[in-house]
Amino acid sequence: MIEIRDTVFRYPGGDFTLRIDSLDVASAEQVALIGASGCGKTTLAHLVAGIHTAESGTIEVAGKTVHAMNDRERRDFRISNIGFIFQEFELLDYLRARENILLPYHINRTLRLTKAARERAEHLATTVGLADKLHKYPDQLSQGERQRLAICRALVTEPKIVIADEPTGNLDPATSKNVMRLIHDNVRAHSAALLMITHDHGLLAPFDRVIDMKQFH
């Protein structure tokens, strides 16, 4: 599902360099990324999603050469194929919670907003305890509620790949356990690949593989 070869990325004007000679993630494989802050975990996730582009090397995701696409093609591909749970949530303040979950269907021409999609949004919201919050705007929700909302949005399209950047960072232990069960169950049900960034080593047991990012420097 993800194939990275001979890839080098640098931030303009900075001294950070990420080098990945070879990295593969199979369909249905669940992989955790660990490592110290600033080691490149989020950078790697953004490269896979086509948010960043490498200066050299090849990155193929779901059979597509991501770095060969233009900005619009990468954006459409990401929305159609990747459920990205951003560390900063990236919710739209002017949309109610329900429409934030369904946002991918409004900004990508290849996705159709069907009755089934709306029912998935309702089910996901119920699963994470947001069923009675769907009419609220993000600024009316707590930090943890906004995080759960972002997770629902990432899963609603039944993506081929889920990328989760610290998805439990603002959640209490009980809610964290519930959310991780939802993510694991969802990707397993759709044979999706999961790439998750975490500092919480207590979450690593269910993963097929754990990658320490220090190997890429």
Q: What is the pLDDT of residues 194-213, one digit of tens each?
A: 999 998 899 999 999 999 99
Question: Do 158 and 126 meet the contact criterion of CB atoms below 8 Å apart?
Answer: no
pLDDT in tens, 158-207: 999 999 999 988 888 888 888 899 899 999 999 999 999 998 899 999 99
Query: What integer pLDDT is reported at residue 170 of this predicted model?
Result: 81
CA distance 29 to 207: 8
> What CATH number does the domain containing 96 carry?
3.40.50.300
How many structural domains is the chain composed of?
Answer: 1
Contact (CB, 8 A) for 7 and 56: yes
Q: Can you give the pLDDT at residue 37? A: 86
State pLDDT tens for residues 10-36. Answer: 988 878 889 999 999 999 999 999 998
Which residues neighbour 98 within 8 Å (Cβ) at sequence distance 6 or greater? 121, 125, 134, 135
| pLDDT score, position 62 | 93
Enter the pTM of the model: 0.92
Among 86-90, 132-136, 148-152, whose mean pLDDT is lowest?
86-90
Confidence (pLDDT) at 3? 96
Which domain covers residue 212, as residue numbers?
2-216
216 has a pLDDT exceeding 90 = no
- Mean pLDDT of the 84-108 span: 93
Residue 10's SS3 state is strand
* Structure letter (DSSP) for residue 196: E
Q: What is the pLDDT of residues 44-72, one digit of tens each?
A: 999 999 999 999 999 999 999 998 899 99
